[in-house]
Structure 1
């Protein structure tokens, strides 16, 4: 694809000025933009939009630089630094998109477009920080981005009519799918069983109408059918429906009520969804993708995951009271170990979000809003709904820094629930009083309130393990690794971390 010569010339002219600027951050930004200039030429899809973004970033930096030179005391350095950081992020994204090729780029099309929008918003923010939004003619820039988008959309729409290009895309995707071990982040996103599904999706896209939307792999639009007229389960904040994926796979469709995220929140949510999709562990609920079934872009968002016929662990134990409860608790610990190994805190563990698969294994769910570890907080987390307050650690109630030990506390409460069949502090009916008991009075469950519910709680080792998890001081709680070893000992099975 050839680049637009007028935009090319404008970019090179601005680069000449920026590359010799004596201001911290400006010259470094020029170097990064020069690298982007070379990378863009080899981006397979959305190339014109990438180029428009590159030129816009250069224009934003030059505008801020010019005003700084005219008024050095105007305090524009913070905006310069923000643009420098944003351009570095742009370079990393465009480098990734160049590596995609047409096959992966076709599947990641919408994701790339969303990221381009997010970068432009960030650049606009830099201008607004120092009151320079008026300095660039936004109407003209909007038109440039619209023209670039229309050009790229037309090319994308015509791919299906060119057999050679489609075959090339198929070959690129096949090369990704046959790799035995993931070598890059894009390979991680293609691990089994997503590999098989991505292949099916590409074959289906090849045979669709020419006006069909091309979607990133995370969105399973037109692939999902909802079953029945009623949700299979209705929670306090969400519904779970049964669905059919690709006309053969039974899946669960979880939709949260009353959620319509802003564009900024949606971008953040998409990144979290992509994070969840990379998680692969026997004791972690797999996210197959997302979809919207009830209308356009403002329709509710459904999270698609494998169907769990046994539902949550408490429903499972009602039907199978003879089930090995220590084994289920061991499964939960395994899931937590995996999450913590990739710097994710569950943040809302309780019996209702421990599911049981058809083989009777416990699987952790409901961490869809978890994020990567933040350097300023031990672990990032998602605040659980009101229904999870009985399981939450004192530091979670008090809005203090949370860590893996916060999940340890919740594991202890969940273990008590799974063993006894009773929720924590079941004698206290008002949730507000439960919060006061945990957060202010440091109240712990009393053994006498639960010991009659299960003979397991007559074992001092089990009760002492649970009690240690409820220590008010997180540092005095055991680690997840220590819990794993102790539960293995209680079960009489080998310790294999």
Structure 2
């Protein structure tokens, strides 16, 4: 269904949000802890603020603001138990430009890996299944996330996983919703080979549902094992491994059960059309959950 900006209602909290502490620092943006008051009650929020270096000239400023509005449009339409809710925006003046900052709930539990380091009794598979459930919802609405990794999965106050950060997202088949230049630094251990090593080096690769699935498999591997993908390889060795079509070595991930490993291997098929779709992957993990089964059931392949 095409996106209609005219039907998007965004809660504007300009002038009511107070930023307190910086909690994350990325290539293009920062995330701050902040508060605003509603009905006499103080609410703690996370505030996504774009870096001032993106507003050095009118061209980059316009591109950045369009990207923020795109993210707002995608995020505000997504309502699911395992997606971080969108609260609204507040405008700040940056180098003379009125720039929207994006607001979402602030979760004391932090990211999924931070939470797991301090909560050893948590069933990791439950959190993985929740994350995949949120991804299946996005894909069911023709939305590509575009930057799946553990730091973009948060744990809410109920101890459940919620997928966040729609800054690289896009809506398939909708004019005006295309991704800008991709930022590889910090994400390439989760990145599909067709994005890292595109067939045409003169073009910027575009994330797809299939590349999301590859990243979901790598993210799931880290959730279940507590180890980075390709834990035995340096960054430079990783690029060579991708060129040689090498996958993570199971010997380094002994905590991952065979059923889950089988699902991940399907996520890591070199041919994107052979990877499972998100709903099939979700169904498969539900069937296999809590079992060391070596049953032959596998995720159904997706086409296109």
TM range, smaller chain: 0.7 to 0.9
Is 1:302 the counterpart of 2:101? The answer is yes
Deviation at 1:337, TM superposition (A): 0.9
Deviation at 1:434, TM superposition (A): 1.7
What is the count of residue pairs matched by the alignment?
272
- Provide Cα deviations, 1:172-196, integer angstroms capped at 9, x if missing partner: xxxxxxxxxxxxx35xx3xxxxxxx
Greater CA drift, 264-273 or 305-314 = 264-273
Greater CA drift, 249-258 or 288-297 = 288-297
Distance 1:422 1:492, change over 3 A: closer
The answer for the alignment partner of 1:226 in structure 2 is 19
Deviation at 1:366, TM superposition (A): 1.7
* 1:231 match: secondary structure: strand
Is 1:287 the counterpart of 2:86? The answer is yes
The answer for the alignment partner of 2:118 in structure 1 is 319
The answer for the alignment partner of 1:241 in structure 2 is 32
The answer to which structure has the higher strand fraction is 2
Is 1:405 the counterpart of 2:210? The answer is yes
The answer to which structure has the higher helix fraction is 1
Distance 1:267 1:479, change over 3 A: closer
- Provide Cα deviations, 1:337-356, integer angstroms capped at 9, x if missing partner: 11112211111111111111
**Mapped partners of 1:357, 1:340: distance in 2:** 22
Deviation at 1:402, TM superposition (A): 4.1
Distance 1:337 1:320, change over 3 A: same
Distance 1:447 1:306, change over 3 A: same
Contact 1:380 1:402 in 2 (8 A): no
Structure 1 residues 322-401: aligned runs within 5 Å: 322-374=121-173, 381=179, 383-399=182-198, 400=205
The TM-score, its normalising length taken from structure 1, stands at 0.50
Deviation at 1:446, TM superposition (A): 0.4
Q: Structure 1 residue aligned with 2:252, among 423, 438, 449?
A: 449
- Provide Cα deviations, 1:72-122, integer angstroms capped at 9, x if missing partner: xxxxxxxxxxxxxxxxxxxx99xx6xxxxxxxxxxxxxxxxxxxxxxxxxx
Regions of 4+ moved over 4 Å: 293-297, 379-382
- Provide Cα deviations, 1:150-193, integer angstroms capped at 9, x if missing partner: xxxxxxxxxxxxxxxxxxxxxxxxxxxxxxxxxxx35xx3xxxx
Q: Gapped runs of 5+ residues in structure 1?
A: 1-91, 97-184, 190-216
Contact 1:348 1:384 in 2 (8 A): no
**Mapped partners of 2:174, 2:157: distance in 1:** 39
Q: Gapped runs of 5+ residues in structure 2?
A: 199-204, 292-304
The TM-score, its normalising length taken from structure 2, stands at 0.80
Contact 1:276 1:368 in 2 (8 A): no
The answer for the alignment partner of 1:468 in structure 2 is 266
Distance 1:483 1:490, change over 3 A: same
Structure 1 residues 66-85: aligned runs within 5 Å: none
Contact 1:255 1:303 in 2 (8 A): yes
**Mapped partners of 1:218, 1:267: distance in 2:** 18
Is 1:436 the counterpart of 2:240? The answer is yes
CA root-mean-square deviation: 2.7
| Larger relative contact order, structure 1 or 2 (CA cutoff 8 Å, min sep 6) | 2
Contact 2:65 2:100 in 1 (8 A): no
Deviation at 1:426, TM superposition (A): 1.9
Deviation at 1:381, TM superposition (A): 4.7
The answer for the alignment partner of 2:285 in structure 1 is 487
